[in-house]
C-alpha cells in the first residue's frame, strides 16, 4: 500500500497517537529511537497506569495487547493475524493476542447511507424496499445490516466502515517503521521476524478489505459442494456488490450451538457435530479450500438440517502436497509414532539443516509419554496443538502461514464439536479422512500417473542430454568452462589468516623501526639529547609504544 497521497498532518497525528500509547504502557525504550523520537517532546504528561494499576505490574506481553487494543482496528487485526504464527512468536504472547474480540461501535446511519449510495451510484429508494440501519453485527472492518430488495427478496448488506482504508494505510506505514526499528535497535527480538509479520498482515488485510474476493470465495465454495445435500451456501448478488459492499441472501437459520432450537427440527448435538465437522474435513482434505474462521457465530443450521457457513472473509488454501504432510503429521499423532512425527515436522520446515534433530526426537518422546497413560478419547486437542506450537517455536520450524491457519481452525472446529457433543473426539473422526487422503496418494492410479510423469521427464532428459554434453565439450575445448564453488565453514580460518598476516606485517615494520633507531644511535647522528642522538631515542619510544600495543592485542585474545 502506498502512502504517497497521505497528507502530512494526518500522518504526524497518527504517529503522535502511537507514540503516546507506547509510552503510556511502558515502551519508552522503543519511542526513544527515530523516527519516533522526534514526536516524544510533544508528550509532556505521561500516564503509566492501566485501570488504576501501574503498567509495570503487567507482563510485557499483556502490555503489547493493551497497546494494540487502544490503537484500534489495524493494530487489533494485526495482533489477531500475528497470533496465527506460533512458530515465530512465543506461546505467552500468542495467548495474549488471541484474547481480542472483534466488536466495534456502530457507524451512524448517515455514514452508512452515504457509503451505500456512493458504492451503488443511485438513491437507495430505487434499489431497496427497506434497509434496517440498526446493524445485526458491527466489527472493526465492516458492519452488517438486513435489507429487502425491490421485489421482496431478503438480503444482508456487509458495509465497509467509512475511512477504514485510509486508517489501515497509515497504520501499516507506522507498523513497518516499528518493525524496522525493532530489527535494527533490538536484535534480541529479530527471532520474531517483525517485518515479515507486518508484510504477511499487509497481504492478509488487503484481501479481507476487498469484498469482491469474498464474493468469489463464496462462489468457489458453492461450486466445490455442488450436489451435496448436507450444505448450503448463501446466494451473492453481484449487481449490488463492490469492493466495499457485499450483498448476499439472508439466511434464516439456527445458531449451531442452540441445542434447544436444534431439537425443534429433530436434530441432536452429536448428530450436528458429526455432520458439520465431517463437512469441514471434506473442505480441508478433499478440496484444499476451507473456511478459516469456523467459530459458532459463523455456522448455522437450516430447518431442513442443512449446514450453512457464513462470513467468507477469511479463507485458506492448502496444496495437495501440504495436505499430505498434514495427514502424515496427524496420523503420527494418532499412532504415537515418534519417528513419523519427527519426519513430518522436518518436512514442514523451510530450513531443515539448522534443526537439532536429536534433541527434537527426545522432546517428541516426552511429548508422547505425556499421553501414554490416557486413552485417545481423553486427549485434549488444544493441548496437543499447543505442544506442537511450542516445538515449532523452540526449534524454529518455519511452517507455511496457511498450514498454521489450518491448524488453528481445526482447534476452533474441535471446540465447536465439544460444545455439541462433550464426547466428540476430533483425532478419531479425522482419521478416516487422513487415511483416505494417503490412500489416494498411494493408489495405483496416482502411482501410475507419477510413473508416467517420471518417464516423461526422463525421456526429455535423455533427448536433451547429447546436445547438452556437446555444449559442455565445446566449452572445454575453447577453454571457456567455468566452475563456481561456495566454501562454507572456512570463515574462522579466513579471520585467523588475516589476523596472522597483519601481525607479521606489524612485526616486520616494528623490527625495521628498532633496527633503524639502533643505526641512528651507533652513527651518532645529531641533534643530541644528553649526548644521545634524538632521532634514535624518538624511534625507540615509538617502537616501545607499538610493541606494547601489539602485546596488549595478543594478551586480549588469549593466544600466545
Residues with a known catalytic role:
293
Contact by Cβ (8 Å): 128, 156: no
User: CA-CA distance, 381 to 394, in Å (whole number)?
Assistant: 20
User: CA-CA distance, 410 to 427, in Å (whole number)?
Assistant: 10
User: CA-CA distance, 61 to 470, in Å (whole number)?
Assistant: 63
Kindly give, in sequence order, each residue whose CB lies less than 8 Å from that of residue 140, ignoring residues fewer than 6 positions away.
72, 73, 76, 77, 102, 104, 161, 164
User: CA-CA distance, 98 to 90, in Å (whole number)?
Assistant: 13
How many helices and strands (H and E) does the chain possess? 20, 15
Q: Assign 3-class secondary structure to 407-420.
A: HHHHHHHHHHHHHH
Contact by Cβ (8 Å): 194, 268: no
C-alpha cell, 32: 526513544
Listing DSSP states for 236-268 in one string gives B-GGG--SSEEEEE----EETT-HHHHHHTT--
Q: Assign 3-class secondary structure to 53-71.
A: EEHHHCCHHHHHHHHHHHH
Query: Which whole-number Å values give the CA distances from 198 to 29, 193, 350, 449, in the listed order?
Result: 21, 9, 20, 41
Angle at 410 between CA 406 and CA 412, to 5 degrees: 115
SS3 label, residue 147: strand
Listing DSSP states for 70-105 in one string gives HH-HHHHHHHHHHTT-TTTS-HHHHHHHTT-----P
Which residue is listed with cell 495474549? 96
SS3 label, residue 485: coil
Give the β-pairing of 231-232 and 307-309.
Answer: parallel
Phi then psi for residue 43, to 5 deg, are -100, 95
C-alpha cell, 195: 517485518
Nearest Cα to 63, choosing from 29, 37, 86? 29
Using the Cα atoms of residue 217, residue 78, residue 156 and residue 254 in order, give the sign of their dihedral.
positive
User: CA-CA distance, 195 to 203, in Å (whole number)?
Assistant: 13
290 bridge partner residues: 316
Contact by Cβ (8 Å): 420, 256: yes
- Helix, strand, coil % in the chain, rounded to nearest 5: 60, 10, 30
Amino acid at each position: 500500500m502506498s502512502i504517497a497521497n497521505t497528507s502530512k498532518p494526518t500522518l504526524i497525528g497518527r504517529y503522535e497517537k502511537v507514540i503516546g500509547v507506547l509510552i503510556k504502557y511502558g515502551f519508552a525504550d522503543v519511542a526513544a529511537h527515530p523516527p519516533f523520537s522526534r514526536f516524544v517532546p510533544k508528550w509532556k504528561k505521561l500516564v503509566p497506569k492501566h485501570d488504576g494499576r501501574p503498567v509495570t505490574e503487567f507482563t510485557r506481553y499483556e502490555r503489547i495487547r493493551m497497546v494494540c487494543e487502544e490503537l484500534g482496528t489495524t493494530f487489533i487485526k494485526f495482533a489477531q493475524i500475528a497470533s496465527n504464527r506460533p512458530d515465530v512468536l512465543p506461546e505467552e504472547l500468542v495467548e495474549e493476542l488471541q484474547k481480542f474480540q472483534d466488536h466495534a461501535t456502530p457507524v451512524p446511519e448517515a455514514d452508512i447511507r452515504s457509503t451505500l449510495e456512493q458504492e451503488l451510484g443511485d438513491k437507495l429508494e430505487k434499489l431497496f424496499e427497506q434497509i434496517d440501519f440498526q446493524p445485526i453485527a458491527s466489527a472493526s472492518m465492516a458492519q452488517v445490516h438486513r435489507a429487502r430488495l425491490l421485489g421482496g427478496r431478503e438480503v444482508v448488506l456487509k458495509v465497509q466502515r467509512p475511512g477504514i482504508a485510509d486508517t489501515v494505510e497509515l497504520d501499516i506505514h507506522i507498523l513497518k517503521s516499528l518493525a524496522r526499528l525493532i530489527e535494527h535497535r533490538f536484535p534480541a527480538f529479530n527471532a520474531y521476524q517483525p517485518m515479515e509479520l507486518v508484510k504477511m498482515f499487509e497481504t492478509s488485510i488487503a484481501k479481507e478489505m476487498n469484498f469482491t474476493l469474498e464474493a468469489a470465495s463464496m462462489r468457489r465454495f458453492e461450486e466445490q459442494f455442488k450436489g451435496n445435500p448436507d450444505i448450503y451456501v448463501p446466494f451473492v448478488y453481484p449487481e449490488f456488490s463492490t469492493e466495499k459492499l457485499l450483498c448476499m441472501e439472508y439466511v434464516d437459520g439456527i445458531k449451531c450451538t442452540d441445542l434447544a432450537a436444534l431439537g425443534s427440527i429433530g436434530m441432536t448435538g452429536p448428530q450436528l457435530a458429526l455432520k458439520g465437522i465431517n463437512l469441514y474435513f471434506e473442505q480441508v482434505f478433499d478440496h484444499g479450500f476451507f473456511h478459516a474462521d469456523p467459530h459458532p457465530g459463523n455456522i448455522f443450521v437450516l430447518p431442513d438440517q442443512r449446514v450453512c457457513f457464513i462470513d467468507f472473509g477469511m479463507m485458506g488454501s492448502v496444496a495437495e502436497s501440504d495436505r499430505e504432510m498434514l495427514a502424515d503429521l496427524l496420523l503420527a499423532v494418532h499412532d504415537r509414532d515418534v519417528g513419523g512425527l519427527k519426519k513430518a515436522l522436518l518436512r514442514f520446515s523451510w530450513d531443515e539443516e539448522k534443526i537439532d534433530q536429536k534433541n527434537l526426537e527426545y522432546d517428541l518422546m516426552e511429548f508422547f509419554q505425556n499421553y501414554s497413560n490416557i486413552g485417545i478419547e481423553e486427549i485434549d486437542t488444544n493441548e496437543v496443538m499447543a505442544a506442537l506450537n511450542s516445538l515449532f517455536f523452540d526449534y524454529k520450524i518455519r511452517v507455511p502461514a496457511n498450514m498454521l491457519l489450518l491448524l488453528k481452525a481445526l482447534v476452533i472446529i474441535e471446540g465447536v464439536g465439544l460444545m455439541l457433543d462433550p464426547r466428540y473426539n476430533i483425532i478419531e473422526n479425522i482419521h478416516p479422512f487422513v487415511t483416505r487422503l494417503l490412500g489416494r496418494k498411494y493408489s495405483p492410479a496416482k502411482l501410475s500417473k507419477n510413473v508416467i510423469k517420471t518417464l516423461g521427464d526422463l525421456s526429455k532428459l535423455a533427448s536433451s542430454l547429447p546436445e547438452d554434453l556437446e555444449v559442455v565439450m565445446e566449452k572445454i575445448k575453447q577453454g571457456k568452462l567455468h566452475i563456481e564453488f561456495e566454501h562454507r565453514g572456512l570463515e574462522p580460518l579466513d579471520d585467523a589468516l588475516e589476523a596472522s598476516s597483519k601481525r607479521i606485517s606489524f612485526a616486520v615494520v616494528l623490527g625495521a623501526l628498532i633496527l633503524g633507531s639502533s643505526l641512528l644511535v651507533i652513527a651518532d647522528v645529531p641533534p643530541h639529547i644528553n649526548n644521545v642522538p634524538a632521532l634514535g631515542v624518538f624511534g625507540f619510544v615509538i617502537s616501545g609504544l607499538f610493541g606494547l600495543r601489539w602485546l596488549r592485542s595478543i594478551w586480549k585474545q588469549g593466544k600466545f
